[in-house]
Amino acid sequence: MSLTIDEVLKIATLARIRIDENEAESYAQDLSGILDFVAQMSSVDTSEVEPMAHPLDLPQRLRPDEVTEANQRERFQAIAPAVEAGLYLVPQVIE
């Protein structure tokens, strides 16, 4: 399995991580090596095997849809990069 630089840049865009072209080359090498390594999994036939989603095969626990935590907006926004009037600020999205 060999990933091209273009493929790496595409994956990086999907992951929303900026990498430049020089970095992309070394990532292409590393990622291709890792994909070759994990390809060892194909040595075993798993067509009859149920995938294991949870180590104890337990279902996700449900709880009543009730408010259980106190509202701590000020506390949480105190550590945000940019807030105003209780809102998180980001660069303008709509022209």
Size of the site for another protein (CB under 8 A): 51
Shortest distance in whole angstroms from residue 93 CB to another protein: 5
Distance CA 83, CA 90 (A): 9
Cβ partners under 8 Å of residue 1, min gap 6:
32, 35, 36, 39
Shortest distance in whole angstroms from residue 84 CB to another protein: 13
Contacts 24+ apart (CB under 8 A), 29-34: 31/3, 32/1, 32/2, 32/3
* Residue 28 β-bridge partners: none
- Taking CB under 8 A as the rule, which mask of x and - marks residues 64-83 in contact with another protein? --------x--xx-xxxxx-
Q: Does 25 bind another protein (CB under 8 A)?
A: no
Q: Does 42 bind another protein (CB under 8 A)?
A: yes
Q: Does 56 bind another protein (CB under 8 A)?
A: yes
The single-letter code of the amino acid at 88 is: Y
Q: Interface residues with another protein (CB under 8 A)?
A: 3, 8, 11-19, 27, 30-31, 33-35, 37-44, 46, 49-56, 58, 60-61, 63, 72, 75-76, 78-82, 88, 90-93
